[in-house]
Amino acid sequence: MIKIIAGTGHRPEKLGGYNDEVFIRLIALCKVSLQKMQATEVISGMALGFDQALAKAAIELQIPLIAAVPFKGQEDKWQPQDKERYEHILFQTSSIVYVDLFEEYSASSSGYSSEKMYKRNQYMVDHCDEVLALFNGSASGIGNCVNYAESLGKPVLNVWKS
């Protein structure tokens, strides 16, 4: 049975910072969660933090990974080490989808915009069976993604307390 899992979660500043120790712990959490959910494919939005940890977990578990990138160049303003990790993960994906190139997910603005992040989340939820979330309950794009999934009746596993 095919089970596609999309992931959404906080950026490093809400997860203890930009360091390898936090990233390694997030990967471990994602691996356990993906196995529990019996994932056969994973969709990651490829943002810093949880999204990239989820992607790395899928790669380590040899689960096919779709990178749902909101727009080409999302990494342009990131630090060099973050860009390097991003490119390394993208190289290992099964496929890369630039979400804003689809008419139904295109945004009215060019370059970076929160609208493009929302559209990316919508794309991921529309194309998955379940959502794996690392969500602390705060008002955020993650909250919008979780709410959208729930509005479509898609199960959400929130691992914030794990």
For residue range 92-130, list pLDDT tens digits in order. 999 999 999 999 998 887 778 889 999 999 999 999 999
Residue 13 is predicted with a pLDDT of 75
Distance of CA 133 to the CA centre of its chain: 9
What is the sign, positive or negative, of the torsion defined by CA atoms of 105, 143, 146, 27? positive
Q: Kindly provide the residue ranges of all beta strands, DSSP E only, lying in 10-161, ordered along the sequence.
A: 41-44, 65-69, 95-98, 130-134, 156-158
Residue 113, pLDDT score: 84
Confidence of residue 162 (pLDDT cuts 50, 70, 90): low
The pLDDT, as a whole number, for residue 140 is 82
Q: In the chain, pLDDT over 90 holds for what percent of residues?
A: 77
The enclosing H or E element of 8 equals strand 4-9
Which amino acid is residue 106, in one-letter code? S
Range 45-65 average pLDDT: 97
The domains found in the chain, sorted by start residue, are 4-158 (3.40.50.450)
